[in-house]
Amino acid sequence: MTEGIRVGTKGRSWHDGRVIDRDPQTMPQSQAKNLSLIAAIDLGSNSFHMVVAKAQNGEIRILERLGEKVQLAAGIDDERKLNEESMQRGLDCLKRFAQLINGMPLGAVRIVGTNALREARNRGEFIRRAEEILGHPVEVISGREEARLIYLGVSHTLADTPGKRLVADIGGGSTEFIIGQRFEPLLRESLQMGCVSFTQRYFKDGKITPARYAQAYTAARLEIMSIEHALHRLTWDEAIGSSGTIRAIGLALKAGGHGTGEVNAEGLAWLKRKLFKLGDAEKIDFDGIKPDRRAIFPAGLAILEAIFDALELQRMDHCDGALREGVLYDLLGRHHHEDVRERTLSSLMERYHVDLEQAARVERKALHAFDQVAEDWDLDDGVWRELLGWAAKVHEVGLDIAHYHYHKHGAYLIEHSDLAGFSREDQQMLALLVRGHRRNIPKDKFAEFGDEGIKLIRLCVLLRFAILFHHIRGTQEMPQVKLHADGDSLEVMFPKGWLDENQLTQADFALEAEWLTRVGFTLNVR
C-alpha cells in the first residue's frame, strides 16, 4: 500500500575532494523534468533507513521502506574512529539497499550521513566503500542541516495547521530540536546526545539502576540547558516526536495502559519505575518493542524524560515523517527549482551587506567565461558551474568584517556558518574558492581535494578573471572578450587596442599573471 504526501525542497554532494554530480543536468532533460522514481538513504548513528518513492503530479508516493539497526555509533572508539566490525555491518546493510536503487540515475538518489559519520575521523574510508556499493554519492550533513531536513519530513507528513510546533528527534548519536510554523523552521538545534552514545556511556552492560539512569538523565539535562531559553522564548502549540525511540516509548506506554501511543509525563514516570524493577535491558518485553531496540531503550527514555522536564511538556505525539522523508522532499524540490541553497546565499549576502550589483556583474561574467572554456577544461558537469556561480555571489562577504584579508574572513564565515541546504563538503569547496579569489592561491589547500583540486583551481582562475574584469565596479563600459583554455593556461583576448587605452585593467591582468605563475598556471592577455 502506498502513502501519499506533499512535496518540499534539496540534493547534490561533495566528498573528500571528489565531486559527484547530482544536478538534473546529469540526467536526460526529459527525465529531470519528469523525475519519477526517487530514493533517500539515511545513514543514522543507530539505524540505516531507505525510502523509494514515485513522484507524480506534485506528490510523492512511498513505494518501499527499508530499515536496519546498524548501530554505527557503537563502533566509534576512543580515538573517534569507526572500527571494522561496525563499518562492515553498515556496508552489509547497504549491499541489500543497493538492489533497490540499481540503475537509478545520479540525481535521483540522495544519501546522507549524520552524527556518527560527523564524529568519525575515518569516515572517508567508510564513505568510499559505501559509494562503491551504492553507485551514488554520500554526503555528511551538519546537525542543523539534519534538523532542517527532519522538520521538512515532519511538516509534509502532518496536517498543515497554522500554529507553531516543537519537533524533537532522538537519534543514535545526536538529538535535534526544531520549532517551526507550517513548512518553515524558525529555530534549529542539534545536541550531542543519543540513545546509542548514551547506552555506551551509561548502560553498556545492559544493567539498569537508579544511579545509572540518573547519570544519563542529568547529562541530557545539562546538554539541553544550552538551548532551553531559546526554545521557551519562541513557544509552541504542539510537541511532535519523529524518531523510532519516541515511537517505541509511546508503544510501551500504550501496552501499559498509559495512552494510545502518545508520550505523556505520567506515563514516563510509570515506565521509569518499571525499568528499575526489571533491572536489565534484556528483560524488556513491552508489546511493540523489537528485541534489537531493548539495549538502547533505557538511554532513550532518560533523554526523553529530560526533554519533558526541561521543556515542561505534558504530551508529545509521534510522527512517521523524519529525516529520510525530508531528504526526499528536498531532493524533489531541487528538481522543481525550489532550491533552498539560493535562499541561504541571499540571506548571507544581506546579512553581510554584499554589493548586490557587483556580485551580479561578477557572476554573469564568471558564468559566461565558464561556458567558453568548460569543454576544454573538463568542467562539463553542471555542479561546477553551480559552484562558480555561488562563489561569485558571496566572494565579498568578508568585507563586512574588515578590508584587510577580507578574502580570508569571507572563507572563514562560509566554512563555519550554518548554511541551510549545504553539506560540510559544499561549504569547504565554496570557502576555498572565496579564500583564493584574490592575492595568493593556497595551492596546498586545493591539493587536499585530490584530482578534483585541479578543477577547483580552474574555477578559481575564472572567478579571479571575472572579478578583475569588473574591478572598476560598473563605472566603465566593458568590451566583449574571448577566452581559450588549454591545460594549465588561459588566454584572454580583448578587442584590438582596448588594453592600450585602459592601462589600469592592463596592469591588473599583468599582476594577475604573476600571481598565477605561483601555482604553475599561465595567463596570456592580449
Contact 400, 353 (CB under 8 A): yes
Burial class, 400, CB count within 10 angstroms (exposed 0-12 / middle 13-18 / buried 19+): middle
CATH (residue range 339-525):
1.10.3210.10
pLDDT at 57: 64
Nearest alpha carbon to residue 18 among 103, 98, 130, 149: 130
pLDDT at 183: 86
Contact 37, 105 (CB under 8 A): no
pLDDT tops 80 at residue 464: yes
pLDDT digits (tens, 9 = 90+) for 141-182: 999 999 999 999 998 888 778 899 999 999 999 999 999 998
pLDDT digits (tens, 9 = 90+) for 231-254: 999 999 999 999 889 999 999 999
Assigned CATH class of 158-319: alpha beta
pLDDT at 334: 64
CATH architecture of 3-140+325-333: 2-Layer Sandwich (3.30)
Local structure of 138: helix, strand or coil = strand
pLDDT digits (tens, 9 = 90+) for 364-421: 999 999 999 999 999 987 789 999 999 999 999 999 999 999 999 999 999 988 787 7
Cell of 356: 548586490
Q: Which has more pLDDT, 169 or 31? A: 169
pLDDT digits (tens, 9 = 90+) for 470-504: 988 776 778 899 999 999 999 999 999 998 888 88
* Mean pLDDT of all residues in 335-340: 60
pLDDT at 19: 32
Q: How many CB atoms lie within 10 A of CB 414?
A: 28
**Cα angle value 234/239/245 (rounded, 5°):** 130
Residue ranges per structural domain of the chain: 3-140+325-333, 158-319, 339-525
Q: Which has more pLDDT, 226 or 421? A: 226
Same fold? 158-319, 339-525: no
Distance, CA of 171 to CA of 115 (rounded, Å): 9
* Mean pLDDT of all residues in 288-302: 92
Q: Residue 360: pLDDT band by 50, 70, 90 thresholds? A: very high
